[in-house]
Each structure stands twice: as C-alpha cells, then as structure tokens.
Structure 1
Amino acid sequence: MKRQVNRCACAALAVMLGGAALTGCSSDKPAGSSASAAASAARSKASAVASAAGSAAASTLASAEAAAAAALTNVKGGLNAQADVTLGTVATDSDGRKEVQVNVTNHDSKPRRYTILINFHDPSGNLADVIVLDVPETSAGGTARATARSNRNLTGTVTAEVRRALRY
C-alpha cells in the first residue's frame, strides 16, 4: 500500500512539474515583457511543486531541474548570460534553508532583466534543490544583487551552481 501511495504521489508530482519551475527569491515588480511574463508564469506554479518535493528522491529533483530548464526555453528573446552571473558562498538562513548571494553584471548597453536557474548540490554532488530566480531590471553597465534560497531545509555542506542564465 505504501509503495502504491508513493507511486501516486510521484505521478502527481510529475504532472505538476509539466511546466513548473522551482523558485527562490525574486523581485515583486510586475512583469513588463513577454519574456518576464513567461518567467513569472514558470515561477507561479513553483510553491506547490516545492512543497510536494520536500523530501523527493534524486530522480524527482532531476525531473524538477529539467522542468525548470524547459520553462526557461519559453523566455522569448532571452540571450545566454551565464558569464554575467556569479555566486557567493552558500550559507544557512535562520529558517534552516540554504541561501546564496547572486551578483549580476549587465554588460549590455541597455537595461536588462535576468532569469537564472540555480542548482543546489549536496556534499556528494547530488542535486538537492532547484530554483528559478528573477533579477529585476539592471541598468546598462550596472550590477544587481539578489539572494537565492532553497525551497526546503538542506543539511550538510551544500554548493550552488548557475545552471543557466538568460538576459532579456
């Protein structure tokens, strides 16, 4: 019976991940472009997915990562901006979740927004959590800072990586 319940829970999670992305911290500013709207739509489904994936297995997290990456493909006009993004050191916040400072430098001559896919890995290098972070409009040649937080408590030494970053 327990195995059947787990299968149903996994199936429900897979359906929910069908266009969802896990989320971290982002701006509360309204989306101003179709690219920003696509990123916002991806994040809007995230809370339920993050809750359901609280103690998910690595394969489910890999599926979440794939769904988050797929959501980024819906960002129209997004250019690869991974070189614009650096991460600080992962720390634990007061709620027990892992967080990392995200620094963005806009090398373009126009103000741009960023949507960033960040993976958190456990000490063995296994995927532990996935988030999508929106960084508000950053002025031309300017820098912005944001904080990415894991969706759940992660234990041990956790590392973070920028899996993908789009500028639009």
Structure 2
Amino acid sequence: MATEEFNRPSLPPYPQMIMEALDALKQADGANKSSISKYMESKYGEMPPGHADLLSHHLNRMKDSGELLFIKNNYLKPGPDAPPKRGRGRPPKPKESLPPGAIPAPAKPRGRPRKDPNAPPAPKKPKPPSGPPSISKTGRPRGRPRKVNPQPLMNGTEV
C-alpha cells in the first residue's frame, strides 16, 4: 500500500481543485461540500487520508478570505461586480489630499518627548522655613492623628 501512494501522481493544491469543481458543476446556487468532494474523487481518483478535514479547512479558509461565498449551505464564486470583502476591525480614515506642491508635515512621534540633554538644569525648589520637619504650613503634623487614651473618672467609669 505504501508503494501505491508513491506511484500515484501528486494532486494539485486543494484551492485549485475546489475552483475546478465549482466551474465544472456550474450550478446557479453553488455547490455543497459533498458534491465538491464527489467531483474531486471522480476526477482525481482516491483522495489522501483525512480528505474530508482538508476539504473543510480549505473551504473555510477560502470563505474567510473572500474567495468563496457561503449561502444556504452552498459554496459559490463571487461575481465580478461583487463588493470586495472587508477585513476585520475598523476601516482606516480617508486621507486628506494636499494641494499640489505642498510638503506634508512630519509625523508626530508618539509618547512623551525626551529630555533635552543640552538644556540647563532646572532651578531647585526653595526649602520651607525652618521648624519641626513634621509640621506643615497649616500647623498640623502629617498623617493620621494619634489615638487619645480615655481618662478614668473618679467614680470608676471611663469617658
């Protein structure tokens, strides 16, 4: 059986065989997968193992790329006046045309601009007036206030 595979002439690519099958079947509403497969088997003889999976893969790929249309479980070639299939995602904005002789502006770089290495160093901020380091201009220390311990009263209860 292995020698039989090597003696068999090689098959054309699957997309080519699929297009030949659609041309030969000439049905107005297209051809389904089983009729394409039957045509390929009748023309090329015994197909390789895994033929059904290979055929499905190539039909799906051709459908996704716009080479074939899939309507009511049938595959058919798109007509010459059919609109081209759009790709995924948002289409790009149309570019505005420049008047003749105008030079286009250079593209803006993305992100934050780099520091100029030749620029003079920025002046340092003046230090706040001397005093306790934890007290700011408002007169209160930074952060959360400390907990206050309750003071016991004379009769033995706490406040």
Per the normalisation by structure 1, the TM-score is: 0.26
Per the normalisation by structure 2, the TM-score is: 0.27
**Structure (1/2) with the larger strand percentage:** 1
Q: Which has the higher contact order (CA 8 A, sep 6+)?
A: 1
